């Protein structure tokens, strides 16, 4: 079989690129110790209340210290469960003082959801059986819409809440 000069050049270039890619990947994985995340916290998606962070009284905003807060949310069937107010109504707005450090902890009970506070850098994929965590400092005042950015079913467009950062 006869190969044209240009075919040989492209074959050599393609094989060399593949070898270089695999060598870089091996260097990062074996010598630098870069591995996929393995210390993620798992949770029973059918019994999320067994985890202390997702019990009814800990859902929503919890003050940890001066300027430090935790937001615990359960995502399920077109709803972000952030607890209830004093009258027993479902909370749909989280109010946080400007400049606060906030730890968002979210889990799902049914399917993959997203948690995105549009206009901020808070953006997570929420998987059933796992606790997604993200820590952010909220320095800009305003009202931000929290949306599910992973298609989760026919009522996906109704899955939203609000994050209000105030002075």
Backbone angles phi, psi at 125, to 5 degrees: -100, 130
pTM: 0.75
Between residues 2 and 100, which one has the greater pLDDT?
100
Pair 68, 137: CB distance under 8 Å: no
**Which tens digits make up the pLDDT trace of 93-125?**
999 999 999 999 999 999 999 999 999 999 999
Q: How far apart are CA 6 and CA 92, in angstroms?
A: 63
């Amino acid at each position: 079989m006869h190969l044209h000069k240009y075919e040989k050049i492209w074959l050599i270039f393609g094989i060399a690129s593949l070898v270089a890619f695999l060598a870089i990947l091996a260097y990062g994985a074996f010598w630098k110790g870069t591995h996929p995340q393995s210390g993620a916290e798992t949770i029973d998606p059918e019994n999320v209340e067994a985890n202390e962070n997702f019990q009814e009284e800990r859902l929503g905003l919890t003050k940890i210290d001066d300027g430090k807060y935790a937001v615990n949310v359960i995502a399920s069937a077109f709803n972000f469960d952030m607890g209830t107010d004093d009258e027993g109504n479902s909370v749909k707005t989280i109010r946080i003082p400007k400049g606060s450090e906030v730890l968002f902890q979210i889990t799902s009970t049914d399917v993959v959801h997203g948690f995105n506070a549009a206009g901020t850098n808070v953006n997570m994929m929420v998987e059933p059986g796992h606790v997604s965590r993200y820590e952010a400092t909220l320095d800009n005042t305003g009202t931000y819409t929290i949306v599910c950015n992973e298609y989760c079913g026919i009522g996906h467009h109704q899955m939203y809440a609000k994050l209000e950062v105030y002075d």
